[in-house]
Chains A and B, each alone.
Chain A
């Protein structure tokens, strides 16, 4: 009986490659009543640091993991239990806790890690998660310029709890082919993504788009409004002309870690989030044959000279596609002031203390907004 009342707090798994994490610090004391979504501790992986938000409610009875400790995914970090559970019962629970094997079960639950599709002659990587009941409209995640589907590592699982999710490496990005559709305009890119949805047999989606991915999502809604159930546009392009050319051009030009670091730091309000592994992963991507040319072409087409060439988002006014716009207040790539250009009827949230990668830096605030939009109840 006691064991049933005990809720473990465990090391989260952020993204497919995470095997272990370092406990940075606890953000709550023992004896705190935890509500779902409350930030309870900070964990650092080799890719990035983030806060762990409570997935379950309860009374925090025991903090087990110490700051600085490196622990595997699903390791017991703390214990929640109602007051009537005795300390001895908690001791017994902790003693009996076995860390589930990291790989065991994951493959079976989530299917193969990544999937591949060839669309319009371009091979792309994508991932699918969550319960694909035919009644549920899936959520498509589109990353920004130079990004990949792992940009959503703090978001996919949270959203997959309410709807099936699909995340794509756009052409020229991530592990997809380093080639671009057509002449790489937003129309070409949106057409490609619609063909991708045709290819995997998905008719209608909610779209969560970041930066350039937001502009592609908006263009998809213009081209095929009946296929887009709603839009969540995060730090989106396509809403105003300004864009930080120092970033877009610097990202393409940087060949070494030393050159890339100051460029990537501009993406975050907290530059300390940019670690060695993040830079290594980006360099590994940028060094692939064809990537430099693809990014150069894409950058020139969409925002040559530091000006965005196409602004599809305001044109969605009257389209009937429900829309939430999210922005980090410290965005140094696409200014948060662009939110003022939002079409009438859009829900707008500017999240303070976050930069351009607001969905990574403030996942705990972004995820509920995505879920609210999916459920047709954007919180204003």
Chain B
């Protein structure tokens, strides 16, 4: 039975139900249990934004509060995964991945390959991404392209509570390392989510709106900006098709190409920095596979190539807006061949 819950609740529910179903699922991270650790307040915090609140009471010592040492506990989680557990490590902000990059891209991502398939690393690293939280340049980045660059890693970035629960369950059950990116500005976003468990397979994009004029390809928070843009465009008779990639590795480029073959126009919207981004990757793949279908120049809507500003006014300008998406669609259509 489905009911409306927030993305934050969807994450909590997926973790809770998978821990109840599978005793090999464990969690570790900073403050995921008790935060400040005052007596009698073991479960007071539940992570920096309270996503794991209540899980300690249900699953006890299978949740481990770790020291402030990402390199240590991400390494521990990866090792536990290689030894048969299914750890879900919470790494507060994706911005902090740098200190444990060797563990992630040179170890976890390589085990299956270098041990000839004899080792698997079913680890999930949950992490917050994205700007708009007034959290400045070191807590606001959309670093998804750093991880899609690495063969052996799977990268997920959902846009709705339904997708969040199903993709997180799939991430936990998957036998490869998964970087699970949660947009902090979507935590309160609500949608219909079944109470039962379900898994959404990786590598299937979701066509969230059908249209014949232009294909808008995006993921995460930007799906919602694209939907706003589509409403504005529809008033002018421009029907945008919106594709939510959902998983960035593996990438469902077939759905994108099918759409572009129908519309002839592609606008890629990405909250990551513009250079070597998901938008750039999708654009290049479409040019290579479906150049003949394009009837206008591909447009990319991204932030400028600069750190996320701390000034609220500048941060708001930094994040791609629906108005920018509308303008990009019009640029593609205006310069198109008829």
Using a CB–CB cutoff of 8 Å, the interface residues on chain A facing chain B are 116, 125, 175, 178, 255-258, 276, 284, 287-290
A sample of 6 inter-chain contacts (CB < 8 A) reads: A116-B1, A175-B1, A256-B204, A284-B194, A287-B166, A288-B198
Contact: A258 with B254, CB < 8 Å?
yes
Q: Is the CB of B210 within 8 A of A289?
A: no
Please pick, from B2, B200, B210, B254, the residue contacting A287 in the complex, using a CB distance under 8 A. Answer: B200
**Closest-CB distance, B4 to chain A (whole angstroms):** 14
> Taking the nearest CB of chain A, how far is it from the CB of B294, in angstroms?
22
Give the number of A-B contacts (CB < 8 Å): 32
Q: Which residues does chain A contribute within 8 Å of B254, judged by CB atoms? A: 258
Closest Cβ–Cβ distance, residue B166 to chain A (whole Å): 6
Residue of B nearest to A257 (CB): B204
Bound CA–CA A289/B210 (angstroms): 29
Chain A residue with Cβ nearest B209: A276
Chain B residues contacting A287 (CB-CB under 8 Å) are 166, 198-200
Determine how close the nearest CB of chain A comes to the CB of B163; give it in whole angstroms: 11
The chain B residue with its CB closest to the CB of A177 is B196
Closest 10 CB pairs between A and B? A289-B197, A287-B198, A288-B198, A256-B204, A288-B196, A255-B201, A175-B1, A276-B210, A287-B199, A289-B198
Chain B, residues 189-220, CB within 8 Å of chain A (1/0): the string is 00000101111110010010010000000000
A178-B196, A284-B162, A289-B197 are known contacts; what are 19 more A-B pairs with Cβ within 8 Å? Answer: A125-B1, A175-B1, A175-B2, A175-B194, A256-B201, A257-B204, A258-B204, A258-B254, A258-B255, A276-B207, A284-B194, A284-B198, A287-B166, A287-B198, A287-B199, A287-B200, A288-B194, A288-B196, A289-B198
Chain B hits for A289, CB < 8 A: 196-199
How far, in whole Å, are A290 and B199 apart by their CA atoms in the complex? Answer: 11
Interface residues, chain B, CB within 8 Å of chain A? Answer: 1-2, 162, 166, 194, 196-201, 204, 207, 210, 254-255
Note all chain A residues with C-beta closer than 8 A to B196.
178, 288-290
> Do A288 and B204 have beta carbons less than 8 Å apart?
no
A48 CB → nearest B CB, Å: 15
Which residue, A116, A178, A289, A290, has most C-beta atoms of chain B within 10 A? A289
Which residues of B sit under 8 angstroms from A276, Cβ to Cβ?
Answer: 207, 210
Q: Nearest Cβ distance between residue B119 and chain A, in whole angstroms?
A: 26
Q: How far is the CB of B335 from chain A (nearest CB, A)?
A: 28
Chain A, residue nearest B170 (CB): A287
CA–CA, A258 and B253, complex, Å: 13
Q: How far is the CA of A249 from the CA of B305 in the complex (A)?
A: 50
CB of A274 to closest CB in B, whole Å: 13
In the complex, A116 Cα to B1 Cα: how many Å?
10
Q: Which residues of B contact A116 (CB under 8 A)?
A: 1
- For the complex formed, measure the closest distance between the CB of B6 and the CB atoms of chain A, giving whole angstroms: 19
Chain B residues contacting A255 (CB-CB under 8 Å) are 201
Nearest Cβ distance between residue A166 and chain B, in whole angstroms?
A: 19
Shortest beta-carbon distance from B189 to chain A in Å = 18
Shortest C-beta distance, A3 to chain B (Å), equals 35
Measured CB to CB, the nearest residue on chain A to B200 is: A287
Q: Which residue on B lies nearest to A178, using beta carbons?
A: B196
Taking CB as reference atom, which chain A residue is nearest B258?
Answer: A258
Bound-complex Cα distance A46 to B255 (A): 20
B227 to nearest A CB, angstroms? 15
Chain A positions within 8 Å of B166 at CB level: 287
B199, chain A: closest CB distance, angstroms: 6
Find chain A residues with CB under 8 A from B255 CB: 258
Q: What is the minimal beta-carbon distance from A150 to any residue of chain B, in angstroms?
A: 13
Within the complex, the shortest CB–CB distance from A284 to chain B, in Å, comes to 7
Q: Report the Cα distance A169→B201, complex, angstroms.
A: 25
Query: Could you tell me the distance between the alpha carbons of A178 and B166 in the complex, rounded to whole angstroms?
Result: 17
Least Cβ–Cβ distance between A45 and chain B, in angstroms? 14
**How far is A255 from B166 in the complex, measured between Cα atoms in Å?**
13
Q: How far is the CB of A328 from chain B (nearest CB, A)?
A: 27
Q: Smallest CB–CB gap between B246 and chain A, Å?
A: 12
Closest A residue to B194 by CB, please name it: A288
CB distance from B174 to the nearest CB of A (A): 14
Known: A175-B1, A258-B254, A276-B207. A288 touches B197 (CB 8 A): yes
Which residues of chain B are within 8 angstroms of A178 by Cβ–Cβ distance? 196
Instruction: Across the interface, name the chain B residue whose C-beta is closest to A286.
Output: B198
Q: Once bound together, how far apart are the Cα atoms of A5 and B204, in whole Å? A: 55
Q: How far is the CA of A288 from the CA of B194 in the complex (A)?
A: 9
